[in-house]
Amino acid sequence: MCTNIMHTTTIEGMGKGAKGWFPVAQAYVSYDHPMNLAAEHAVGIDFVDRVTGLERVAVEITLDSARSLVAALQTALAKADEWEAST
Amino acid sequence: MPNTDEYEGIIAETTVIRGHNGDAIHAYFARPLGAGPFPAVVLVHHMPGWSDWYKEITRNFAAHGYLTLTPDLYCRTGHGQWGDVTARVRAEGGVSDDQVVGDAQGAIDFLRSLPTSNGKVGVMGSCSGGRHAYLVATRGTGVDAVIDLWGGGVVMKPEDLTEKRPVAPIDYTPQLQCPILGLFGLEDRAPTAEQVDQHEAALKAAGKEYEFHRYEGAAHGFMYHHAPQAYRAAAAVDAWSKVWDFFGRKLA
C-alpha cells in the first residue's frame, strides 16, 4: 500500500472472470504499483464477487487511460439518462 | 558458493508456521541440504503479495547457504492466485503493522529453533516489506541484521498514520537492535531521497550501525528483474553483492 490510494464502491452486475460469468458486488479503484503494466504506478480497477472477494475482473491502466475511460463513461451515462427520460 | 566439485543441494516447499496471535499461516521455506549450521533469513514480502519474485529469491538465499522463510502475510485473507488475494488486501487497507511484526516474529522463532541454525537471523524486505523489515528489527526480538530495500513509509506524515499503521517506523529508531543495510534509488518517490536522508540522520543521531547506498538513475524496485520498467541491471548487480556481503558478515 505504497500510495494509500484506494477507494471501494458497491455495484450490481455481472463480470466475466477466469471461471466465467459471476455476480460482481464491489469495485476497487486504486492507484498503486501494478502487477503487470510496465509502469511505476497505475490505476487499478477490480470488479469482485460478494462471497470471497477473490474472484475478480481486473485491469491496470495509465492515468490518461483512466481519464479517457471516465470521460467515456460520463458521456455514455448522459446519453443513457437522455434515452431513459425520452422513452 | 561451492566449488564445482562440491555437493550442492537445496529444498524448497510450502510449510505452516505460527504467526501473530499464534495463527497458523503459510510460509515458503527454502534451505540448503545438510546439517549446517546455517545462518537464517526471514524475507518480508512486498505490497504486491506473496509473489513469484519473493519465492524465487527465497530459493536463491537457500542456494547461498541461508535457511530462508518467507511468510504469507496475506494468508488470513483467503486463497487463490496471489494477485487476486493482494487486490482484496489492498481494498481492506493492507495488513496491520502489529500483525506483520507478529508473523515475522513467528518466522524468526521458527528458524532459530531449527537444529541446523547457527543462531543468527537476518530480516530483509522490499517496498512495503522494507518498511516492515525495519519495524521487525525495532519492535521484534532476535534480529541480528536487517536489510531495507527501498522501504516506503518509514518516514510518515501525521495525516498518513492509520489504525493499521499508527506509528511512523522512523520513530522506533532508538529501539533498532541490529546493524542495517539500506539500498535506495535516488529517483524513487516512496521513499524520496529526502526521506532516506532523514532516516539516515535518525540512525546517526541514535548511534546505530548503518550502511546506506543510493543508486543514481534508479527508482522504486530497481532489483525487480521481472519488471523491465523498474529494473536497473548495474544497480541490481551491485545491490545483490552488497546483500550477500552484509549478511555474510553479520550472520556468520
A10 inside domain:
yes
Phi, psi of B116 (to 5 degrees): -90, 0
Q: What is the DSSP letter of B6?
A: S
d(CA B148, CA B146) in angstroms, rounded, equals: 7
Cell triple for residue A67?
Answer: 481519464
pLDDT of residue A53: 79
Q: Let me know if B217 is exposed, middle or buried by CB neighbors in 10 A (0-12, 13-18, 19+).
A: exposed
| pLDDT for B70 beyond 80 | yes
pLDDT in tens, A38-86: 998 999 999 999 877 789 999 999 999 999 999 999 999 999 999 999 9
Residue A32 lies in a domain: yes
Is residue A19 domain-resident? yes
* Chain A residues with CB-CB distance to B48 below 8 A: 33, 35
Q: What is the mean pLDDT of chain A?
A: 93
Q: How many CB atoms lie within 10 A of CB B92?
A: 16
What is the rounded average pLDDT of the residues B183-209?
A: 97
On the question of pLDDT at B99 being above 70, the answer is yes
Q: Do A40 and B88 touch (CB under 8 A)?
A: no
- Chain A hits for B190, Cβ within 8 Å: 2-3
Place of cell 545491490: B239
Q: Which residues of A touch B195 (CB under 8 A)?
A: none
Number of domains in chain A: 1
Residue B63: CATH number of its domain: 3.40.50.1820
CB contact (8 A) between residue A58 and residue B220: no
Whether A80 is in a domain gets the answer no
Rounded Cα distance, B85 and A46, in Å: 12
Structural domain span for residue A56: 5-62
The pLDDT of residue A87 is: 84
As for the ipTM of the complex, it is 0.82
State what percent of residues in chain B have pLDDT above 70.
100
Contact with chain B for residue A68, Cβ under 8 A: no
Q: Is residue A72 part of a domain?
A: no
B86 and A35 in contact by Cβ < 8 A? Answer: yes
Q: What is the mean pLDDT of chain B?
A: 97
Residues 6+ apart with CB under 8 A from B33: B9, B10, B11
Domain count within chain B: 1
- Identify whether B191 is part of a domain: yes
Q: Are B118 and B36 in contact (CB under 8 A)?
A: yes
Q: Which residues 72-91 of B have a C-beta within 8 angstroms of A? A: 78-80, 83-88, 90-91
Q: How many CB atoms lie within 10 A of CB A42?
A: 22
Q: Touching check for B213 and chain A: CB below 8 Å?
A: no
Q: Across residues B113-127, what is the average pLDDT?
A: 98
**A68 found inside a domain:** no
Examine residue B15 and state whether it is found in any structural domain, yes or no: yes
**Residue A1: which pLDDT band, with cuts at 50, 70 and 90?**
low
pLDDT, position B145: 98
Arithmetic mean of pLDDT, B85-90: 94
- Residue whose C-alpha is closest to residue B213's, from B243, B183, B238, B241: B183
Of B149, B144, B220, B234, the closest CA to residue B186 belongs to B220
By mean pLDDT, which of B10-14, B158-162, B235-239, B245-249 is the weakest? Answer: B158-162
Average pLDDT over residues B231-245: 98
**Count of helices and strands (H, E) across chain A:** 1, 4
**Which residues of B are less than 8 Å from A54 in CB distance?**
78-80, 84-85, 88
CB A75 within 8 A of CB A52: no
> Domain of B158?
10-250
Cell 458486488 locates to A25
Read off the pLDDT of residues A27-50 as tens digits, 9 standing for 90 and up. 999 999 898 999 989 999 999 998
